[in-house]
Chains A and B, each alone.
Chain A
Amino acid sequence: MSDLEVSTRIARSATSRRAGTRRSATVGEVVAALVIVFLLLSALLPGAIAPLDPLAIRPLEAFSPPSPGSWFGTDESGRDIFSRVVHGTASSLLIGVSATAIGLGLGLILGTAAGMLGPVVDFSVNRMLEVLFAFPGLLLALFFIVIFGPGVVTATIAVGISTAPGYARIIRGQLVSIRRSAYVEAATVLGRSRWQILYRHILPNTLAPIFVLGTLGVGQAIVWAASLSYLGLGAVPPAAEWGAMLAAGRTYISTAWWLTFFPGLFIVLTATAITVLGRRLQQRVREQG
């Protein structure tokens, strides 16, 4: 092969790779990114976006529909719904992220144990995961809350636990296939120790796709946590949490739709935006891999 041929080939592959990673974002992805930016601002600086106190009661203004003065209207106690939704962002996001982190953490421990510690551990962990899989995720969360009592913290842990089996199984599969891969064998032939192989090849190749999966999981975790709050098992009123707001507004849904519509809209927007961006991230990782 001549040098010229080699360099043109590389140039071509380099451009195609660049084109692959710098594929211009779709409209949906731009909107999703804007939504996420807005949510982050709401979580970090809620006062700057919605200056009204989310807990302040103004009985005279109860049940006012959305208006220029109060964009999302007010609830049964006259609290400003826009402020409540904005101020609730932090707790909803925190619940979603921590629940996913708990799920991923547990999944990592179980999956790594099954994938790395030999056939006995693998067998036991797998049977345990199969039992957990037999329950729908939300049922598992409810079971946990029954034992430890309702509340934001238990709800978060409950959601985390119920997502863990899924992560554990994916991590195990990933580990097993990478351990048997030709490149791990090649590293052995080069004289690398088990730790070097684990640190340099197995972990990075296992974790990169898992974290993308985790991003996708945050959206789901937010929905689940909101569901638990809606059932009165997570955050309780008057806390400005989206699921709890939905539950509180349920009574007035026929007369004052805005009590439930806006918290619901934010749940949907958040979950969708995170999922859209997560998919993009997944695509990018796959292209690079």
Chain B
Amino acid sequence: MSAAGATGADPVLRVENLTVGFGASGAAVVEGVSFTVAAGECLALVGESGSGKSVTARSILGLAGARSWQRADAVELSERDLRSLSEREWRSVRGRNVGLILQDALASLDPLRPVGREIADALRLHTRLSPAARAARVHELLRSVGMPEPELRVKQRSGELSGGLRQRALIASAIALDPGLLIADEPTTALDTTVQARILDLLAEQKESGTAVLLISHDLAVVSRVADRVAVLREGRIIETGPTDRVLRNPEEPYTRRLIGAVPTGRPRGERLSVPVGSAPGGSAQRARPAAPVPARATTPRDAVALSVRNVTVRFRGPNGSTRLAVDSASVDLHTGTTLGLVGESGSGKTTLARLALGLIAPDAGEVRVGGEPWNPLAEKHRRPVRARVGAVYQDSLASFDPRLSVEAILTDAATGGARRGSPARSGAADRVRELLDSVGLPAGVLPARPLNLSGGQRQRVAIARALAPRPDILICDEPVSALDVSVQAQVLDLLDELQERHGLSYLFISHDLGVVAHMADRIAVMSEGRIVEMADTDRILAAPQHPFTRRLLDASPRL
């Protein structure tokens, strides 16, 4: 596929046949990539982790790193050749002509300096504004990115700001000099959906005001809100490009179709998101089409309650004696064999509720019951025999594995109730471990590996296998897919769905993304500031959300 065609206007950025690799003998990780971005236009580079998106962006800025090499027929910014710039010339280009927004605003901002000064830096280095004029401009910038109380914020350090505000500060510093080109590399990946929506609106505003925007993301649904054109990157090559509408509605490549199929928002419960395991990647077009809906399952919740949370309250005590209500008399019921989705923003108390349900912290008031029996508060000694019934899958599965243990040791331990080597309880463990691997779709080859050496999706599969090992009835899944690429997320969600069918599991499924929760859950509980503000069947929540917060979440959820 040749250049991602310009729309006619003179391009602000023109990249032609860019090839980038690492190490002297290293193979190219980006190969023959060509595209242009015009003023007032947003081009989205979309692909999975490792597809070369970020490397492409960094190469354009000359930031690919000392060990990299690159070739290109052209890399031009407003007709200026960027290929042969000296380090000194680069410094005048970066910031003034190109603004860069990275995913991790916490790492991009100096933790020891107030954000106001961080933003003023660009102005100090590149303009002759007086200090007073600079301060005024910083306020103006912060206001333009929708920062509440800018007078207060300029004095705060990045650690004192929330993720969304931090990202705004970063955008403010990127647009401080009104650069012609803005490069945003996964600018919203770590953010809540409502915050994400606001940041995307902000990028759209920049675009409207005539800036060329190069947006990089693994999530097609996210970019479709802003991008005029999309270029799909796979293994370092652009495999498909075109106007956003056309690519989304009528994708040419099976791979693009797979990416589109992976977006959970607006997809009914039970519909597969990923291509079935076994069919080759990029296989026949028919196979890659979003699969037909699975025959409708019995959606009426069975009467038995697997897990019931009754009026629980949790207070956290601050160091100065203050207390904060993390969970405020919350009640939810998880019916046997169904999924209860719990959705809310970061800090709303979702994880605290999960820890309550897992019996890891005791409530200050109220109680949790498992299968009608007391569970929390209860002495760990009495809870331990019942522990096998409740499993957990965490967001950061790597941290949840003992770093010394191999996959085999982890699963054997989980399957044998922690029996020591040589104990009779270990006989037959090898077969059970194989069976577990099979059920999560991993080959036996992963057994000797440590989780550190597996990919994010593989780790999450191992985590699920471990949770299944004691044959639980209930799984508490706390943001199990939010650290994953959309396409990998699709596979893990499908796997969870499949396992629920097969083993009759009950899930408490927690996520900040209403789109994901709506796809997975029979019932949804919406949590805000420690309270359950709304709880109803998924269809009801989607069709007629009652609480304004639910409506906001629904609007913010990225969809195609």
- A196: chain B residues at CB < 8 Å are 418
- In the complex, the answer to whether B443 meets A14 with C-beta atoms within 8 Å is no
A289 contacts the other chain (CB 8 A): yes
A16 CA / B445 CA spacing, docked (Å): 16
* Chain B residues whose C-beta falls within 8 Å of the C-beta of A251 in the assembled complex: none
A32 to B367, CA, bound (A): 62
A48 within 8 A of B: no
| B401 interface residue (CB < 8 Å to A) | yes
A10 and B447 CA atoms in complex are apart in Å by 10
A9 touches B394 (CB 8 A): no
Shortest Cβ distance from residue B94 to the other chain A in the assembled complex, whole angstroms: 33
Query: Contact between A10 and B454 (Cβ–Cβ < 8 Å)?
Result: yes
Query: In the bound complex, do residue B458 and residue A289 qualify as a contact, i.e. CB atoms below 8 Å apart?
Result: no
A64 at interface (Cβ–Cβ under 8 A)?
A: no
* Per-residue B-contact encoding for A175-189, CB less than 8 Å = 1, 0 else: 000000111011111
Which residues 1-43 in A have Cβ within 8 Å of B in the complex?
1-3, 5-7, 9-10, 13-14, 16-17
Known A189-B390, A201-B402: A3·B443 in contact at CB below 8 Å:
yes
A7 to B454, CA, bound (A): 10
Query: Nearest residue in B to A190 (C-beta to C-beta)?
Result: B414
Say yes or no: A182-B470 contact (C-beta < 8 A), given A189-B387, A191-B385, A191-B417.
no
CB of A281, distance to nearest CB on chain B (Å)? 15
- Find out whether the CB atom of B387 lies under 8 angstroms from the CB atom of A190: yes
Within 8 Å by CB of A10, from B394, B401, B445, lies B445
Task: Tell me, rounded to whole Å, the shortest Cβ–Cβ distance linking A76 to chain B.
Answer: 55
Report the bound CA distance from A192 to B358 in whole Å.
14
Q: Which of B358-392 contact A (CB under 8 A)?
A: 358-360, 380, 384-385, 387-388, 390-392
Tell me which residues across on chain B come within 8 A of A5, comparing CB atoms.
Answer: 281
Are A190 and B281 touching (Cβ within 8 A)?
no
A188–B488 Cα distance when bound, in Å, is 28
| Interfacial residues of chain A within 192-218, with CB under 8 A of chain B in the complex | 192-193, 196, 200-201, 204-205, 208
Residue B59 is within 8 A (CB to CB) of chain A in the complex: no
| A185 and B458 contacting across the interface, CB-CB below 8 Å | no
Name A6's contact: one of B358, B394, B399, B445 (CB within 8 Å): B445
B417-440 to A contact mask, C-beta < 8 Å, 1/0: 110000000000000000000000
Inter-chain contact B384/A193, CB cutoff 8 Å: yes
A288 within 8 A of B: yes
Shortest Cβ gap from A186 to chain B (Å): 4
CB distance from A18 to the nearest CB of B (A): 11
Instruction: Tell whether B442 is near chain A: CB-to-CB under 8 Å.
Output: yes
How long is the Cα–Cα vector from A182 to B478 in the complex, in angstroms? Answer: 13
Contact present for B360 and A289 (CB under 8 Å): no
Interface flag for B455 (CB, 8 Å)? yes
A2 & B404 in contact (Cβ 8 Å cutoff): no
The range of chain B's interface size is 35 or more
Q: Is B491 an interface residue (CB 8 A)?
A: yes
Say whether B399 contacts A183, CB under 8 Å.
Answer: yes
Bound CA span A200–B417, Å? 12
State which of A16, A188, A289 has its C-beta within 8 Å of the C-beta of B403.
A289
A6's nearest neighbour on chain B, judged by CB, is B443
Given known contacts A10-B454, A13-B449, A205-B404, A191 and B470 CB-to-CB distance under 8 angstroms: yes
Q: Indicate whether A288 sits within 8 Å of B404 (C-beta atoms), given known contacts A9-B455, A185-B360, A191-B417.
A: yes
Q: For the complex, what is the distance from the CA of A205 to the CA of B388, rounded to whole Å? A: 25
Q: Is the CB of A186 within 8 A of B445?
A: no
Minimum Cβ distance to chain A for residue B307 (Å): 14
Indicate whether A183 sits within 8 Å of B443 (C-beta atoms), given known contacts A2-B280, A9-B455, A14-B453.
no
Chain B residues, Cβ within 8 Å of A182: 394, 396, 399-400
CA distance A263 to B446 in the complex (A): 53
Q: Are B449 and A14 in contact (CB under 8 A)?
A: yes
Interface presence of B152 (CB below 8 A): no
Query: How far apart sit A183 and B394, CA to CA, in the bound complex (Å)?
Result: 10
CB-CB nearest in chain B for A193: B384
* Given A189-B392, A192-B418, A6:B470 Cβ within 8 A: no
Could you tell me if B443 and A189 are in contact, using CB atoms closer than 8 angstroms?
A: no
A204 to B454, CA, bound (A): 23
Q: How far is the CA of A19 from the CA of B70 in the complex (A)?
A: 27
Interface residues of B in 93-132 (CB under 8 A from A): none
Asked if residues B491 and A1 are in contact (CB atoms below 8 Å), the reply is yes
Q: Which of A7, A10, A189, A190 contacts B453 (CB 8 A)?
A: A10
Contacts of B446 in A (CB 8 A): 6, 10
Q: Which of B360, B400, B446 lies at the interface centre, i.e. has the most chain A CB atoms within 10 A of its CB? A: B400
Please tell me if B457 contacts chain A, counting CB pairs below 8 Å.
yes
Tell me which residues across on chain B come within 8 A of A190, comparing CB atoms. Answer: 387-388, 391, 413-414, 418, 466, 469-470
Candidates B281, B392, B403, B455; contact of A2 at CB < 8 Å: B281
Q: Could you say which residues of chain B place their CB within 8 Å of the CB of A185?
A: 360, 400
For residue B414, which residues in chain A have a CB less than 8 angstroms away from its CB?
190
How far is it, in angstroms, between the C-alpha of A204 and the C-alpha of B277 when the chains are bound? 38
Closest beta carbon of chain B to A8's beta carbon, Å: 10
Residue of B nearest to A184 (CB): B402
Least Cβ distance of B275 to chain A in Å?
9
* Chain B residues within 8 Å of A9, by CB: 454-455, 458
- Whose C-beta in chain B lies nearest to the C-beta of A204? B404
Q: Nearest CB to that of B394 among chain A residues?
A: A182
Complex Cα distance A1/B484, Å?
Answer: 13
Per-residue interface assignment for chain B, residues 504 to 545, with 1 indicating a CB less than 8 Å from any chain A CB and 0 otherwise: 000000000000000000000000000000000000000000
**Chain A residues in 8 Å Cβ range of B399:** 181-183
19 A-B contacts, Cβ less than 8 Å apart?
Answer: A1-B488, A2-B277, A3-B443, A5-B281, A7-B443, A9-B458, A10-B445, A14-B448, A14-B453, A17-B450, A189-B391, A190-B470, A191-B418, A191-B470, A193-B384, A204-B404, A205-B402, A288-B404, A288-B450
A-B pairs, 10 with minimum CB distance: A191-B387, A13-B453, A182-B399, A186-B400, A182-B400, A183-B402, A189-B392, A196-B418, A289-B403, A192-B418
* Partner-B contacts on A (CB < 8 A): 1-3, 5-7, 9-10, 13-14, 16-17, 181-183, 185-193, 196, 200-201, 204-205, 208, 288-289
Q: Beyond the given A1-B488, A183-B403, please list 9 additional residue pairs across the A-B interface where CB-CB is below 8 A.
A: A6-B442, A14-B449, A16-B453, A182-B399, A185-B360, A189-B359, A190-B391, A200-B413, A289-B403
